[in-house]
Structure 1
């Protein structure tokens, strides 16, 4: 049983970003991430389509999902989705330095230094404003609390959920 969102996220190294492109169409891709001070960060090249999408439309969804090799039932993979406000951070700021240190701890300083030296990589910050999580059949939660990290049991009614018909 997973007791916290952080417990679920701890082994994960990447997330899926769903952004909106210049034509209003959805676009999904993935990126390695770190969570720091209750926010989620990805380090993206400006050449990546989702960098432009996130800059032009600063709302996106991020999705975390259990690896298929680890799940007991493919129809009930553990997963969490967060709706977020997004902002691109300034390069060479104290904030960037602090967060890139977290990336170095998780992914290795050599990789982060190489990406930084390319010059076109920017940190994008995802601040949640809504979330949901599913950890199996009948185990669906809304995410709540100040930072959208607490599991809130969804109410069941006779007309919804996995009840009898």
Structure 2
């Protein structure tokens, strides 16, 4: 049993971002991430479609999923979906420097330095406001608590799960 959101996320290096374009159409892709102080960060080029989507519309969703080769049942992959508000951070600030240091620790300094030198990469910050976690059949939870990182039994919200029809 997974006991915490951080325990589930620990081996995961990337997340899937779902954003909305200027016509309200959904767009999904992935990006490497770091989590700091209960917020999630990605480093995106302004050329990436997500950059313009997230700049124009701060509503987004991020998704984490167990690797297929690690799952016991393809219909019950462990996964977490988190709805967020998003903002693009300013470049060349102490905040950017501190977050990029965490990216360097996780992914290697050489890659982050190269991306930073390109000049069109910005950090995007995802702040959770709702989430759900599924860790198998009958093991679905809402994310709650002050930082949306606690598993809350859905039965407490009137959801009784799978039943016979």
Category of TM-score, reference length = shorter chain: over 0.9
Equivalences for 1:65-144 in 2 at 5 Å? 65-144=65-144
Distance 1:159 1:61, change over 3 A: closer
Whole-Å Cα distance in 2 between the matches of residues 82 and 55 of structure 1?
Answer: 18
Q: What stretches of structure 1 of length at least 5 have no aligned partner?
A: none
- TM-score (normalizing by structure 1): 0.97
- TM-score (normalizing by structure 2): 0.97
Q: Which residue of 2 aligns with 1:51?
A: 51
Residue 161 (structure 1) shift: 2.0
Q: Which residue of 1 aligns with 2:39?
A: 39
Q: Deviations over 1:27-85 (max 9, x none)?
A: 00000000011100000000000100000001100000000000000000000011001
Whole-Å Cα distance in 1 between the matches of residues 146 and 107 of structure 2?
Answer: 28
RMSD: 1.5
Residues 34 and 102, structure 2, Cα contact 8 Å, conserved in 1 = yes
Whole-Å Cα distance in 1 between the matches of residues 39 and 157 of structure 2?
Answer: 33
Whole-Å Cα distance in 1 between the matches of residues 13 and 159 of structure 2?
Answer: 38
Whole-Å Cα distance in 1 between the matches of residues 116 and 31 of structure 2?
Answer: 15
Whole-Å Cα distance in 1 between the matches of residues 163 and 52 of structure 2?
Answer: 43
Q: How many residues align?
A: 165
